[in-house]
Structure 1
């Protein structure tokens, strides 16, 4: 059974695209995240604050788009974002909260 994943595309008050992600991102549904990011052009803010689990498949999608991502996350995701190196190449906000 594929874990629940909700993707909501909108805009921030400054007009930048915002992709709000909720649930678990794994091999079974990382393709949906990739498709949502592929539908956006230019820089995009990805809100991961409602993500409870992120595996290597999800990380791979984020790395693929890292040159245009700004991430918002919680301390729960800090270890995976930091150890993977993603936090070194894409701005990540909220890890120290």
Structure 2
């Protein structure tokens, strides 16, 4: 069974691509996230503030695109990104971070 995942694409005022994700990212739906990330090129602001769960399949997708991602994450996901090493490869903002683009 596929876990519910919603992907909403858009553009920031400066023209940079933006993808908002909500739900859970796991092995049942990581392919959908990968497809959405593969569909674009260039910098991408990936908003994960509404993501409640992220497993290793989801992390693998994020690592594959780390060179172009900037992440907005809830406090729940910050330790996962730090322990996995992803936080050292991408810029990570909290949902209320004033420096967030």
Q: TM-score category by the smaller chain?
A: over 0.9
Q: Deviations over 1:5-47 (max 9, x none)?
A: 0001100111100010000000010000000001111110100
Q: What is the match of residue 30 of structure 2?
A: 30
SS in 1 for 2:27: coil
Stretches of structure 1 that go unaligned for 5 or more consecutive residues are none
Q: What is the match of residue 50 of structure 2?
A: 50
Stretches of structure 2 that go unaligned for 5 or more consecutive residues are none
The answer on whether the counterparts of 1:71 and 1:92 sit within 8 Å (CA) in structure 2 is yes
TM-score, with normalisation over the residues of structure 1?
A: 0.95
SS in 1 for 2:76: helix
TM-score, with normalisation over the residues of structure 2?
A: 0.92
Quick check: which one's helix share is greater? Answer: 1
Length, aligned pairs only? 97
The answer on whether the counterparts of 2:49 and 2:95 sit within 8 Å (CA) in structure 1 is no
> Which stretches of structure 1, 4 residues or more, deviate above 3 A after TM superposition?
none
SS in 1 for 2:45: strand
